[in-house]
Amino acid sequence: MASENKATDPSPSQNVVNRVTSIPLIHSAFNLVSSAYNFTKGTHPYVTTVCTVAETVAAVAVGSAVGGAQPILSHLEPQIAKVNEYACKSLDQLEEKLPFLQQLVCISHPIGFLSIRSCRKSSQHLSYLPWSR
């Protein structure tokens, strides 16, 4: 559900990427995957090496792309602002039609079987997972 304090027109500071990442379901799923990644990376030396190399290559690639794309992005700024505005309005509609987006992702762990499910904000969080300690 869209919150009541959101304006019908997105403010200039409103960014669709920030809004999507702040949706509780998306945010908690990202935290879950990030915790599992960091746990796995920290416990397996070979995986650590591969992940570190991949992260370094990705950082260099993104840094190079951002520097080269800056002149193009400044030229396309009005179009990007329109796309952002349209995306924010669409996200408002999506949040109204899909109320489960406001729930968190939880994990059930019945005797060695992991299953991901949606849970309510008031239920326990992911603190019992080995990688979230």
Which tens digits make up the pLDDT trace of 104-119? 777 655 544 455 555 6
Which tens digits make up the pLDDT trace of 28-82? 888 888 888 888 888 888 999 999 999 999 999 998 888 888 888 889 999 999 9
* pLDDT at position 19: 93
**CB-facing half-sphere around the CA of 48: CA atoms within 13 A:** 5
Per-residue exposure over 23-44, b if at least 16 CB sit within 10 Å of its own CB, e if not: beeeebeeebeebbeeeebeee
Residue that the structure tokens 């908690």 belong to: 28
Is the pTM higher than 0.85? The answer reads no
Beta-carbon contacts of 123 under 8 Å, excluding residues fewer than 6 positions away, are 104, 106
In sequence order, which ranges of 22-130 are alpha helices (DSSP H)? Answer: 24-43, 45-75, 77-97
